[in-house]
Amino acid sequence: MIERRIALPCTGMAVMAVLAVALGCSAVGGASAQGGGGDGRGEPAGTIGEDASDGLDEPGEPGLGPGGAIPVTDPNVDGDGDGFTPAEGDCNDVDGNVNPGAIEVEVTEPDASGHIPAPADEDCDGVIDNVPPPCDEGLALEDFDPVDGAKAIDLCAVASREDRRWGVLSARYIRGDGSSAERSPAVGVFDGFGPNVHVQGGARLLALSTGSARLPGHPDACWSGSCSSYGAGTAPPGFPQDNPACPPSSFINDDIGLEVVLRAPTNATGYEFLFKFYTFEYPEWVCEDFNDQFVALATPAPPGSYNGNLSFDGEGRPVSVNIAFFDVCDGCPLGSGELVGTGFSPRHDGGTRWLKTRAPVRGGEEISLRFILFDTGDDRFDSTALIDGFRWIATGGTVSLETAPAVNPL
Q: Are 267 and 103 in contact (CB under 8 A)?
A: yes
pLDDT at 378 over 70: no
pLDDT at 50 over 50: no
CA 320/CA 374 separation, integer angstroms: 10
pLDDT at 129 over 90: no
Residue 101 CB neighbours (<10 A): 27
The predicted-structure confidence for 52-108, as pLDDT tens digits, reads as follows 233 333 334 444 444 444 455 789 999 899 999 999 999 999 999 999 999 998 877
Q: Write the CB contacts of 403 (distance below 8 Å, at least 6 apart in sequence).
A: none
Provide mean pLDDT across the span 311-339. Answer: 77
What pLDDT sits at residue 309? 87
The chain-wide mean pLDDT, for the chain, equals 76
pLDDT at 46 over 50: no
Provide mean pLDDT across the span 224-243. Answer: 68
Provide mean pLDDT across the span 366-374. Answer: 95
